[in-house]
Amino acid sequence: MSDVEMKATKVFPASVERVLDSSKIVINRGVDDNLKLGQWFLIYAVSDEEIRDPDTNESLGYLEIPKGTGKVTQISSNSAVVEFDELKYNFTNTSAIGGVIGWVGAVGAGIGAAISPKENEFKNPKVGDLAKPI
């Protein structure tokens, strides 16, 4: 595997490395991973329990549990601060990709699962939560 391929597989999801407070977190990606100031992220956790098809017992992956959205407000070469910012966005359940049931922006028809926190903070952010651009 080339250095470029290894770097591409590293980029996302990023991990929450530090919780500064309930509205600011630090992720382990930065300028070296092509992050930009103002870039939007979904912060989420992955369920502990694997979801299985009741008919075939085939694994459908794990559920992503959204904790909120935010924007990059500070950035260094290998880390970034993501500050909570409510993004009025609708997430739609997609098929299991890479063993994880994904939630992506609703572009077409699908089952909607809205995430629009009323507060001005992430929902119980923890070190080890995941972050991906939206």
Calculate Rg over the CA atoms of the chain.
15
**Confidence at residue 101, expressed as pLDDT on a 0 to 100 scale:** 46
**Confidence at residue 32, expressed as pLDDT on a 0 to 100 scale:** 95
Query: What is the mean pLDDT, run by run of 10 residues, along the chain of 134 residues?
Result: 49 96 96 96 96 95 94 97 78 46 40 50 96 95
pTM as predicted: 0.70
Tokens linked to 8: 């591409």
**Confidence at residue 27, expressed as pLDDT on a 0 to 100 scale:** 98
Q: Where are the domains of the chain?
A: 12-133
The fold of the 12-133 domain, in CATH, is: Thrombin, subunit H (2.40.10)
**Confidence at residue 25, expressed as pLDDT on a 0 to 100 scale:** 98
The torsion angles phi and psi of 36, rounded to 5 degrees, stand at -130, 150
**Confidence at residue 86, expressed as pLDDT on a 0 to 100 scale:** 81
Q: d(Cα 86, Cα 126) in Å, to the nearest integer?
A: 18
HSE at residue 91, side-chain half, CA atoms within 13 A, is: 23
Q: Of 96, 24, 106, which is closest to residue 61 (Cα–Cα)?
A: 96
